[in-house]
Structure 1
Amino acid sequence: MAVAHLNGCGAVMALVVLLSGCNARIHKLSLKNETRFTVDLNNFGFFANGTLDVSLSSLWLDETLVNYNLYPVGFSLSRSRVNKVLSYTAEETETCPLTITKPTGDEPLILFLIDIKNLRVNVSAMGVQDNVLIAKAKSGEAKEKRVVRESAPENEPKPGDQPEAKSSQTEEQKEGKKEEAPADQQKEQQPEEKPNPVGEAKKVEGTTFLLNKTTKPVLALDKTNGFYNFSFQLVVGPNAEGLYSLRFHYCQNRSPGNKRPYSLTVDVIERNPGSYLSAAEIPLSRLYIYMAGVFFTAAMVWVYTLMKHRYSVFKIHWLMAALAFTKSTSLVFHSINYHFINTEGHPIEGWAVMYYITHLLKGALLFITLALIGTGWAFVKYILSDKEKKIFMIVIPLQVLANVAYIIIESTEEGSSEYYLWKEILFLVDLICCGAILFPVVWSIRHLQEASSTDGKAAMNLEKLKLFRHYYVMIVCYIYFTRIIAILLKITMPFQWQWCYEFLVEVSTLFFFVLTGYKFRPASNNPYLQLPQDEEDVEMDEVVTESGVLEGISKVKKTSNGRERQKEPAL
């Protein structure tokens, strides 16, 4: 077991060093020869005055083989109040999401359609929103607009109407100054001019657009050496808070058997006022440090209990104490990790390594401890059977793999294809471990059921049987709640309250630890720890003790009269 731990720690350290270039909330994704029709770039919960900076560079498309009017290319930015329940998803729609003209409900949807023929990006804002877009406008479109608006009736809409850009250009003509936004839109842009508590935000140059149903901004698309690029900044309005999903769409590849490769590099920086964390993640740093204190207090109480009942203590009790301390330490490093992401936008490598190591040890210790308790090791029996040993041979490597998968997911951009692969591996491995951990408990229950009817100790075995049944129900409830119920609650909560999912998981883990410690506490009246009371068990006790397996357990010794017994501490 120790070797497995050390190997796992070494793997974690090497993996973190290799992936240390990946940032957390300052994202950079590069795709080469990609064929997916939809790339989920990121999901982020924004409060009012939060900013989203997107910079697309090195976009390469096969211009000779694709009809971009029929199969558009571009970005979509949709909003939802709850996690993963968006106004639309690419998987649910039969048509290309970039061709949507009206979103479901009033949730805002913003489309950025890339027109490589005319070197422009057409922006379409739908739904109720008051977001502000800051980007470089297409200068030719602004001139064409001025001419059309001067000759056309004021109330007649024209294709590509762009009132904000027009006003800005007219002011520039009259006063001979460089382009600036109208006064009413400068008021909307005011949040970006305030100093950023987490660092200096880069100054965005360009035209300011107040997005609504009538605004149709046209942005400039630059082309250099065959690669396209453009950038924009979105300032979330007071009435547009929510969970935003940014995606890139290449609708040509929706048709089966007609995949066209493309390449791109996109930089995404997301901020909330005073934080680089999503709305649901801002409270997590404080939550983890508080829960670390609670787990540490519980661990100290457990150690005090072990010292008080030292003559009834077994090695597994100290293993349970090590688990509680490791859990507390892991939460401390997790809190530190989130603190640096909150203030700097990315984790500090050294603290991240410490968190991943303690996280790996905590996961391995948890399943090892549960399996040992479930088999009745050192209590009901002192030697593991072959099939029980096989459970450990399966669970320990799987736990190492699950933690490595978790580290890769944390260090990989959401838009990369490997992200979803490792996410599925993590889910599958975690499910297998949770199922495998139930087998030792079931075997112990079956063993006690058979023993209660054959060895004449029905009362004692029935008490232990009842205890194991309660423990089985506890494990099932813990797994069911943390893997299913809590996740269902997460996807139904408002976006800013989704941190409650982590709170529920940590509280349920604490409750499970406390119940397990109470039921298997070292005490003379605990049926789980009662010593055998007949001749056959005495002989087996002596044999196992002499073999060195039963260490630290008081043994029963027969005297010369054959019936009187005397307890003496084992060496």
Structure 2
Amino acid sequence: MGGSATPLVVFALLVALISPSLAEIKALKVTSDSRPLILLEEFGFTPSGSVSIGLSAVSFPSSAASPELFGFFLLSDAGLLQSIHDSEQPHQNPAPVPSCALQSPYVRPLFTFSRLSRAHSFNGTFPITHPDEYGLCFANCVPGAAVSMSVHTEMYNTRSDGNRDYLSVGQSAVPSLYTFFAAAYFAAVAAWIYICFRYRLDAHRIHLLMAGLLLAKALDLLFAAADLHYTRATGTPHGWDVAFYVFKFVKGVLLFTVIVLIGTGWSFLKPFLQEREKKVLMIVIPLQVLANIASAVIGETGPFIKGWVTWNQVFLLIDIACCCAVIFPIVWSIRTLKETSKTDGKAARTLAKLGLFRQFYMAVIGYLYFTRIVVYALKTIASYKYRWVSVAAEEIVTFAFYVFMFYMFRPKERNEYFAIDDEEEQASEAALREEEFEL
């Protein structure tokens, strides 16, 4: 594909980073942009889908270039893969190489600037004849030519009752999923409050913080469901996205804080934090602030802005840094317990703590691995119609992780820390000696 392959490969990189779009009604502003290809958004269509595009205040160097060299087009995933395949094997493609992405046989051109009115504006709606997931792109086939314009886009499917559905077909089940899990977390909040009240003499400060985490997670899902519901019906979230980002931030900070505090044994093993553990919290919390800022920029702007890929990279790096940071306190606690087992006279208690923290360590590793790697793989390989599967998988594993963590560290009258009889003590001492021999 030669000349047209490069912008299409750029499109592939953008699609690899982009999250499933809410595809609400968008008003975009392009100012003096000379990029050869601008990805506006991505959407999964049914046979009754449509794309509406409105342009105004269009400015381009018409005196030096033909308006036919500026235009909008749709590109499906299948067309994208085929174009990349052909670009990697040019010797098998004897056809002339098109010099403009608008001329590629794998795209569906919508219109060019030659159809602009005298007021340099355009309005049009284009039905989708072949259902698929498409990326809406603007192509600038004049190197170095700066284009400015205001773009209004609407991508939607028409339901059987004639109303528009502004959610991509793969996202249609997500509001119901979020509502279901929000109800599950609200039920968990009630159950946790009951447990803490019943065993209030054995409850610690960490249990109150865990209750706050459950409530923040429930509200995060509730507002996410409201955001998607209003977007689906009207094309705009009506302000629910603000509440969603607020509680997403609170949930993220509380989750990593709880993992760090449990990993250090705060409230369970000791009433204070060491200096290095305070430093972990001082690192994780600001990183979560930056991660949520990056997430809001990614979600509220879209791939058309010049720094969108950079914001994605920032979010990815910060998220990985947070995941790595919360592992250290758990490792420190395990190492401390191993060293304590050599001198502590209460071997059973130490062994119970050591086993508990090892299980917690494995659970945290499994949770982070699944939600960061496996979920991303599901989003990548699943058909556009089944993108909701990755959301369901992530929420199921997250709920399972919460259940495990809250069950393991729940307040209770008799636990492995404070009630160990003589027989258990002798058996534990033998187990510790065997473990030291293995190490």
TM-score of the two chains, using structure 1 as the length reference: 0.63
Q: In the superposition, relative to structure 1, how do residues 435 and 311 fare at CA in structure 2: closer, same or farther (>3 Å)?
A: same
- Does residue 346 in structure 1 map to residue 236 in structure 2? yes
1:432 to 304, 321, 324: 321
What residue identity is the alignment partner of 2:238? I
Query: What is the count of residue pairs matched by the alignment?
Result: 387
Distance 1:520 1:38 in 2: 52
Question: Does the CA-based 8 Å contact 1:33-1:262 persist in structure 2?
Answer: yes
Residue of structure 2 equivalent to 1:477 = 366
1:503-539 Cα offsets, whole Å, 9 max, x none, are 1111111000000011112224432x43799xxxxxx
Deviation of 1:419 (Å): 3.0
The aligned residue for residue 264 of structure 1 is: 149
Question: Does 1:451 find its partner at 2:372?
Answer: no
The residue aligned with 2:128 is 236
Asked if structure 1 preserves the Cα contact closer than 8 Å seen for 2:73 and 2:102, the reply is no
Aligned to 1:102, the other structure's residue is in SS state coil
> Which residue is equivalent to 2:45?
46
Based on CA coordinates, which of the two structures has the bigger radius of gyration?
1
In the alignment, which of 206, 210, 213 is matched to residue 320 of structure 1? 210
The CA deviation string for residues 188-231 of structure 1, in whole angstroms up to 9 with x for no partner, is xxxxxxxxxxxxxxxxxxxxxxxxxxxxxxxx34344xxx4434
CA distance 1:269–1:499, shift in 2 (3 Å): same
User: Distance between the aligned counterparts of 2:371 and 2:358, measured in 1?
Assistant: 20
Which structure is higher in helix share? 2
Distance 1:506 1:445 in 2: 29
Residue 335 (structure 1) aligned with residue 220 (structure 2): no
- Equivalent residue for 2:382, pick from 478, 493, 500: 493
Aligned counterparts of 2:290 and 2:370: Cα–Cα separation in 1: 23
1:252-294 residue CA offsets vs partner (Å, 9 max, x unmatched) = 33xxxxx332222221111111311111222222111111111
The root-mean-square deviation of aligned C-alpha atoms, in Å, is 2.7
Whole-Å separation in 2 of the counterparts to 1:422 and 1:501: 22
Deviation at 1:404, TM superposition (A): 2.0
* Alignment-derived partner of residue 550 in structure 1: none
Q: State which of 396, 418, 425 in structure 2 corresponds to 1:530.
A: 418
**Amino acid of the structure 2 residue aligned with 1:78:** L
Say if 1:490 and 1:501, in contact at 8 Å, map to a contact too.
Answer: yes
Q: Aligned-pair distance for 1:475?
A: 0.7
Give TM-score, length-normalised by structure 2.
0.81
Q: Within 1, Cα distance between the matches of 2:391 and 2:82?
A: 25
Partner secondary structure for residue 417 of structure 1:
coil
Q: 2: CA distance between counterparts of 1:532 and 1:437?
A: 30
After superposition, where does 1:52-451 map in structure 2 within 5 Å? Answer: 52-65=51-64, 72-80=69-77, 87-88=82-83, 96=99, 98=101, 100-103=103-106, 109-112=107-110, 114=112, 120=114, 220-224=115-119, 228-237=120-129, 240-253=130-143, 259-273=144-158, 274=163, 275-349=165-239, 351-451=240-340
In the alignment, the residues of structure 1 paired with residue 156 and residue 182 of structure 2 have an alpha-carbon distance, to the nearest angstrom, of 27
Aligned partners of 1:222, 1:530: CA distance in 2, in Å?
81
How far apart are the structure 2 equivalents of 1:89 and 1:68?
A: 27
**SS where residue 142 of structure 2 aligns?**
helix
3-state DSSP class of the match of 2:270?
A: coil
2:217 aligned partner, one-letter code: K
1:50 CA drift (Å): 1.2
CA deviation vs aligned residue, 1:408-464 (integer Å, no higher than 9, x gap):
222214312243332222222111111111111111111111111233333322221
- Distance of 1:280 and 1:343 partners within structure 2: 16
1:375, CA displacement in angstroms? 0.5
Contact 1:78 1:86 in 2 (8 A): no
Structure 2 unaligned runs (5+)? Answer: 1-21, 89-96, 422-439
Any conservation in 2 of the 1:73–1:98 contact (CA below 8 Å)? Answer: no
Shift of 1:88: 4.1
Structure 1 position 397, deviation (Å): 1.2
AA matched with 1:98: A
Q: Classify 1:87/1:266 alpha carbon distance in 2 versus 1 (closer, same or farther; 3 Å).
A: farther
Alpha-carbon distance between aligned partners in 2 of 1:241 and 1:262, rounded to the nearest angstrom: 31
* Uncovered stretches (5+) of structure 1, i.e. residues with no partner: 1-22, 104-108, 121-219, 254-258, 534-571
Match of 1:197 in 2: none
Taking the TM superposition and a 5 Å limit, the aligned residue runs for 1:456-471 are: 456-471=345-360
Residue type matched to 2:234 in 1? E
The one-letter code of the counterpart of 2:148 is: S
Q: Give the letter for the 1:503 counterpart.
A: A
Q: Identity across aligned pairs (percent)?
A: 33
